A and B are shown apart, each in its own frame.
Chain A
Amino acid sequence: MGLPERKRTATEARLAGLTLPTGGWAEPARRDALSRVTAMGLPQRRDEYWKYTRPDSLLDPEPPRAALLEQGGELVFESMDRLKIVFVDGVFDPEASDALELEGVTIDRLADARDADIHWAKDFYGVLEARGQTPVERPFAAMNTAFATDGVIIHVTGKPSKPISLIYIHRSEHSDAILHHVVRVDRDAEATILENGPAAARFNKCMEIDIADGGILHHVRAQGRDHERRAVTHVFARLGRDSVFKSFTLSVNGVLTRNECVIELTGDDAIAHVAGACVGDGDFHHDDTVFVTHDAVNCESRQVFKKVLRNGATGVFQGKILVKEGAQKTDGYQISQSLLLDEDSQFLAKPELEIYADDVACSHGSTSGAIDEDALFYLRSRGVPHGTATDLLTLAFLAEAVQEVEDEALAKDIISRLENWLARRR
Chain B
Amino acid sequence: MAALDQAPVKEGVDQETVDAVREVGGAYKYGWNTDIEMEYAPKGLTPDIVRLISEKNEEPQWMTDWRLAAYDRWLQKEEPKWAMVDYPDIDFQDQYYYARPKSMEVKPKSLDEVDPKLLATYEKLGIPLKEQMILAGVEGADSIPAEGRKVAVDAVFDSVSVGTTFQAELKKAGVIFCSISDAIREHPDLVRKYLGSVVPVSDNFYATLNSAVFSDGSFVYVPPGVRCPMELSTYFRINAENTGQFERTLIIADKGSYVSYLEGCTAPARDIAQLHAAVVEIIVEEDAEVKYSTVQNWYPGDENGKGGIYNFVTKRADCRGDRAKVMWTQVETGSAVTWKYPSCILRGDDSQGEFYSIAIANNYQQADTGTKMIHLGKNTKSRIVSKGISAGRAQNTYRGLVSMHPKARNGRNYTQCDSLLIGDKCGAHTVPYIEVRNNSARVEHEATTSKVDDDQLFYCRSRGMDEEEAVALVVNGFCKDVLQALPMEFAMEAQQLVAISLEGSVG
B-contacting residues of A (Cβ < 8 Å)? 48, 325-326, 328, 338, 340-370
Decide: B442 and A325 in contact? CB cutoff 8 A: no
Complex formed: what's the CA distance from A355 to B417 in Å?
14
Given contacts A354-B427, A361-B450, A363-B449, contact A343 B440 (CB under 8 A): yes
What residues of chain B lie closer than 8 Å to A328, measured between beta carbons? Answer: 424
What residues of chain B lie closer than 8 Å to A360, measured between beta carbons? Answer: 421, 449-451
Complex formed: what's the CA distance from A347 to B437 in Å?
7
Decide: B421 and A355 in contact? CB cutoff 8 A: yes
Decide: A325 and B425 in contact? CB cutoff 8 A: yes
From the candidates B406, B442, B447, B451, name the one contacting A353 in the complex (CB within 8 A): B447
Decide: A352 and B429 in contact? CB cutoff 8 A: yes
What residues of chain A lie closer than 8 Å to B426, measured between beta carbons? Answer: 356, 358
With both beta carbons as reference points, the residue of chain B lying nearest to A347 in the complex is identified as B436
Within 8 A of A (CB), among B415-453: 419, 421-451
Given contacts A353-B429, A359-B424, contact A365 B445 (CB under 8 A): yes
With both beta carbons as reference points, the residue of chain A lying nearest to B396 in the complex is identified as A355
With both beta carbons as reference points, the residue of chain B lying nearest to A314 in the complex is identified as B437
CB distance from A50 to the nearest CB of B (A): 14
- In the complex, given contacts A348-B436, A349-B445, what are 12 additional A-B residue pairs having Cβ atoms less than 8 angstroms apart? A343-B439, A345-B439, A348-B433, A350-B432, A350-B434, A354-B430, A357-B424, A358-B421, A358-B422, A365-B444, A368-B441, A368-B442
Complex formed: what's the CA distance from A48 to B399 in Å?
14
What residues of chain A lie closer than 8 Å to B439, measured between beta carbons? Answer: 340-343, 345, 369-370
Q: B87 at the A/B interface (Cβ < 8 Å)?
A: no
Decide: B436 and A355 in contact? CB cutoff 8 A: no
What residues of chain A lie closer than 8 Å to B429, measured between beta carbons? Answer: 352-355
Q: B82 at the A/B interface (Cβ < 8 Å)?
A: yes
Decide: A359 and B435 in contact? CB cutoff 8 A: no
What residues of chain A lie closer than 8 Å to B443, measured between beta carbons? Answer: 366-369
Given contacts A358-B426, A367-B444, A368-B441, contact A351 B449 (CB under 8 A): no
What residues of chain A lie closer than 8 Å to B446, measured between beta carbons? Answer: 363-365
Complex formed: what's the CA distance from A185 to B215 in Å?
65
What residues of chain B lie closer than 8 Å to A344, measured between beta carbons? Answer: 406
CB distance from B47 to the nearest CB of A (A): 30
Main secondary structure of the interface of B (DSSP, over half): strand
With both beta carbons as reference points, the residue of chain A lying nearest to B403 in the complex is identified as A348
Given contacts A343-B406, A345-B439, A358-B451, contact A350 B431 (CB under 8 A): yes
From the candidates A340, A354, A361, name the one contacting B436 in the complex (CB within 8 A): A340
What residues of chain A lie closer than 8 Å to B437, measured between beta carbons? Answer: 346
What residues of chain B lie closer than 8 Å to A359, measured between beta carbons? Answer: 424, 451
Name 29 A/B residue pairs within 8 A (Cβ), A-sorted: A343-B439, A346-B436, A346-B437, A349-B432, A349-B435, A351-B434, A351-B447, A353-B419, A353-B429, A353-B430, A354-B430, A355-B449, A356-B427, A357-B421, A357-B424, A358-B421, A358-B422, A358-B426, A358-B451, A359-B451, A360-B451, A361-B450, A364-B446, A364-B447, A365-B445, A365-B446, A366-B445, A368-B442, A370-B442
With both beta carbons as reference points, the residue of chain A lying nearest to B446 in the complex is identified as A365
CB distance from B375 to the nearest CB of A (A): 12
CB distance from B346 to the nearest CB of A (A): 17
What residues of chain B lie closer than 8 Å to A363, measured between beta carbons? Answer: 446-449
Decide: B428 and A353 in contact? CB cutoff 8 A: yes
Complex formed: what's the CA distance from A364 to B417 in Å?
10
CB distance from B138 to the nearest CB of A (A): 33
CB distance from A208 to the nearest CB of B (A): 28
With both beta carbons as reference points, the residue of chain B lying nearest to A352 in the complex is identified as B431
Most chain A CB within 10 A, of B431, B437, B439, is at: B439
Complex formed: what's the CA distance from A357 to B439 in Å?
38
Decide: B450 and A351 in contact? CB cutoff 8 A: no
With both beta carbons as reference points, the residue of chain B lying nearest to A320 in the complex is identified as B431
With both beta carbons as reference points, the residue of chain B lying nearest to A360 in the complex is identified as B449
What residues of chain A lie closer than 8 Å to B440, measured between beta carbons? Answer: 343, 370
CB distance from A75 to the nearest CB of B (A): 32
Complex formed: what's the CA distance from A352 to B432 in Å?
6
What residues of chain B lie closer than 8 Å to A347, measured between beta carbons? Answer: 434-436
Hey, what's the 0/1 contact readout for B443-472 against A, CB within 8 Å counting as 1? 111111111000000000000000000000
Complex formed: what's the CA distance from A369 to B429 in Å?
26
What residues of chain A lie closer than 8 Å to B436, measured between beta carbons? Answer: 338, 340, 346-349, 368
Decide: B434 and A325 in contact? CB cutoff 8 A: no
From the candidates A326, A348, A354, A362, name the one contacting B434 in the complex (CB within 8 A): A348
Complex formed: what's the CA distance from A342 to B438 in Å?
8
Most chain A CB within 10 A, of B431, B435, B451, is at: B435
From the candidates A346, A351, A361, A369, name the one contacting B432 in the complex (CB within 8 A): A351
CB distance from A408 to the nearest CB of B (A): 32
What residues of chain B lie closer than 8 Å to A348, measured between beta carbons? Answer: 433-436
Complex formed: what's the CA distance from A366 to B439 in Å?
15
Complex formed: what's the CA distance from A40 to B435 in Å?
28
Complex formed: what's the CA distance from A366 to B447 in Å?
9
With both beta carbons as reference points, the residue of chain A lying nearest to B82 in the complex is identified as A48
Hey, what's the 0/1 contact readout for B104-116 against A, CB within 8 Å counting as 1? 0000000000000
What residues of chain B lie closer than 8 Å to A370, measured between beta carbons? Answer: 439-440, 442
Given contacts A340-B439, A347-B436, A368-B434, contact A355 B445 (CB under 8 A): no
Complex formed: what's the CA distance from A341 to B442 in Å?
13
Complex formed: what's the CA distance from A363 to B446 in Å?
7
Complex formed: what's the CA distance from A357 to B428 in Å?
9
CB distance from B219 to the nearest CB of A (A): 37
Complex formed: what's the CA distance from A352 to B84 in Å?
13
Complex formed: what's the CA distance from A359 to B426 in Å?
11
CB distance from A294 to the nearest CB of B (A): 12
Complex formed: what's the CA distance from A364 to B428 in Å?
14
Complex formed: what's the CA distance from A136 to B408 in Å?
33
With both beta carbons as reference points, the residue of chain B lying nearest to A309 in the complex is identified as B439
Complex formed: what's the CA distance from A352 to B440 in Å?
25
Decide: B424 and A343 in contact? CB cutoff 8 A: no
With both beta carbons as reference points, the residue of chain A lying nearest to B391 in the complex is identified as A358
Decide: A349 and B441 in contact? CB cutoff 8 A: no
Top 4 A-B residue pairs of the complex, sorted by shortest distance between their CB atoms: A340-B439, A358-B421, A369-B442, A368-B436
CB distance from B420 to the nearest CB of A (A): 9
With both beta carbons as reference points, the residue of chain B lying nearest to A328 in the complex is identified as B424
With both beta carbons as reference points, the residue of chain B lying nearest to A349 in the complex is identified as B434
CB distance from B431 to the nearest CB of A (A): 5
What residues of chain B lie closer than 8 Å to A340, measured between beta carbons? Answer: 436, 438-439
Given contacts A340-B436, A365-B446, A368-B441, contact A325 B424 (CB under 8 A): yes
CB distance from B182 to the nearest CB of A (A): 42
Decide: A367 and B441 in contact? CB cutoff 8 A: no
Most chain A CB within 10 A, of B425, B447, B451, is at: B447
Complex formed: what's the CA distance from A360 to B449 in Å?
7
CB distance from B369 to the nearest CB of A (A): 15
Complex formed: what's the CA distance from A328 to B82 in Å?
27
From the candidates A342, A343, A367, name the one contacting B445 in the complex (CB within 8 A): A367
CB distance from B365 to the nearest CB of A (A): 15
CB distance from B384 to the nearest CB of A (A): 13
Complex formed: what's the CA distance from A113 to B429 in Å?
43
CB distance from B78 to the nearest CB of A (A): 12
